[in-house]
A and B are shown apart, each in its own frame.
Chain A
Amino acid sequence: MSTQRAFAAALIDTRLPCPEGLCSANGADPASRFAVYRNNVQGSLINALSDSYPVVAQLVGDEFFRAMATVFVQQQPPQSPLMCRYGEAFADFIAAFEPAGDVPYLADVARLEHLRTLAYHAADALPVRAEQITAALADVQTLSELRFEFHPSLHLLDSAFAMVAIWGAHQHDSTLAGVDTHQRQNALVLRNGLDVEVFALDPGASTFIRNLIDGQPLLKAAENSPEFDLAQTLGLLIGRNAITHLNNKELP
């Protein structure tokens, strides 16, 4: 019989009784000793989530967050010793967590915070120098086939809510006064040097970058997008060191 299976199960599921076969030198109830491990496991996993999702925690308050995280921990304990990966499924869990239903943007804020974690730890890559990009844009011979590759930290997120503004409001004063939470927003997340940055994009700019990620050449990617400011979007991508490779080979 596996001792560790019963021990592990009772650590995660706090409704289970203390496992059999435990003892203490002073004759204390083993359950009072087992409780230390249970508290350590539950507490450390909940703290890991609260470290990864600070704005979600602020939006619902610490008590609600910990109660919600407790349910998540029981349903979906970590599957890897890499704790920076824990909580990948937290946003989907929140979306289906009925008690959080009156904060409809909560799941998208969680998605944004998760993308920030991914961006923070994403692989390093050197940006293409701005002069090289400008030269490629000016080369009429190759412009129609010019493609971009982006930094591994770059992610897009579209939301029916103003999750960039909501997230941004919680970086300082934590007030949502003046934020229209039900305004659609498209987020761009990337790491510029050592810092993770978040921007709100027009829907057209978001589609354009998505098209580029899908491998469309620059001009096609722009044509296939709703109206947006191409110069401003390129300026943002260049200025934030997001472009890490140019593919501007001439057509055969």
Chain B
Amino acid sequence: MFIANHPAHPATQAALRELPPRAGLGLKTGHFREVLGSQPDIGFFEVHAENYMVDGGPFHHFLGLIREQYPLSLHGVGLSIGAEGPLDKQHLKRLAELIRRYQPQSFSEHLAWSSHGPVFLNDLLPLAYDTPTLNRVCEHIDQVQNTLKRPMLLENPATYLGFQRSTIDEPDFIAEVIRRSGCGLLLDVNNVYVSCVNHQRDPLAYLDALPLHAVGEIHLAGFAEDCDNLGDRLLIDDHGAPIDQAVWRLYRQVLQRIGPVATLIERDNQVPAFAVLLAEAQQADALLRDAGGRT
């Protein structure tokens, strides 16, 4: 059913896994000085690319110093790879410049859209999974990888609804994008759990339908609880809480399947003290160690 093509830059597993197989943390502006002062034993830091698309000032000052001491993952939230329109070439140029400046071990973006025409919606919005979307996403990823001259990781989404016109199951869609484009998978375990609860799916079956060989990084985060008009559980991927026990359990299942892979603890809202995030990272590090990694 799919049009066969071959990725221009088929990436080896090693090329997708340049980050060390350890726990990392999202770098928060409020933690810059503490990180530099205390030099915590952390596998890597991750930043949102768009926050650093500024000319100068404290953001670049601190990221430059921290980059000298830690591996870095650059995580985009504004490229809108799933958009119906073309990619923003200016934005791609800014990404290329950031990558040149900081030489991150990994660059990742989302299977989602966030812009329509000139309007940026500042959220990761869901896609209808059909052949036209598949072709478009693959073209956009080709364009990204050709411009940046490196493979990227694509993150599986957390979604709250589906589209009547979808004809492809989400994990199959992701598998086909990865097969065609040669990009890797950023496996967000929280997103797997959130989406599976919201769409009444079995998380393990979903996980096993994904191309786990292509995982280059894992994300863990917390969610918020809501409910829909039927009173059913509706989980919101808000990055505003500690990681849920159910997500930790699913994470162990992932590590059993693929061994230790760089794992980010994500927290973007209600950011606690650095020590609290560090404790969650240590918890992930212990599991990574158990899974056979070095720490």
Contacts and interface: CB of A to CB of B under 8 A. Distances in A.
B55 A122 contact: yes
Contact of B232 (A28, A34, A80): A28
Contacts of B56: 121-125, 152
Looking at chain B's contact residues, is the secondary structure mostly helix, strand, loop, or mixed?
loop
B130 to A, nearest CB: 10
Nearest to A2: B84
Question: Which of A4, A37, A84, A123 counts the most B-chain CB atoms under 10 A from its CB?
Answer: A4
Interface residues of B, number: 50
Contacts, number: 144
Question: Which of B117, B160, B163, B226 counts the most A-chain CB atoms under 10 A from its CB?
Answer: B160
B160 A37 contact: yes
Interface in B68-123: 77-80, 83-84, 88, 91, 113-123
A84 B120 CA distance: 13
Contact of A30 (B57, B114, B161): B161
B161 A33 contact: yes
B55 A80 contact: no
A211 B214 CA distance: 60
A45 interface: yes
A36 B159 CA distance: 10
8 contacts: A4-B116, A25-B201, A26-B228, A28-B230, A40-B123, A41-B122, A81-B77, A194-B61
Interface of B: 50-51, 53-61, 77-80, 83-84, 88, 91, 113-123, 125-126, 128, 160-165, 198-201, 226, 228-230, 232, 234, 236
Given A4-B83, A37-B161, A78-B122, 7 more contacts: A4-B116, A77-B119, A80-B120, A81-B77, A81-B78, A81-B80, A83-B50
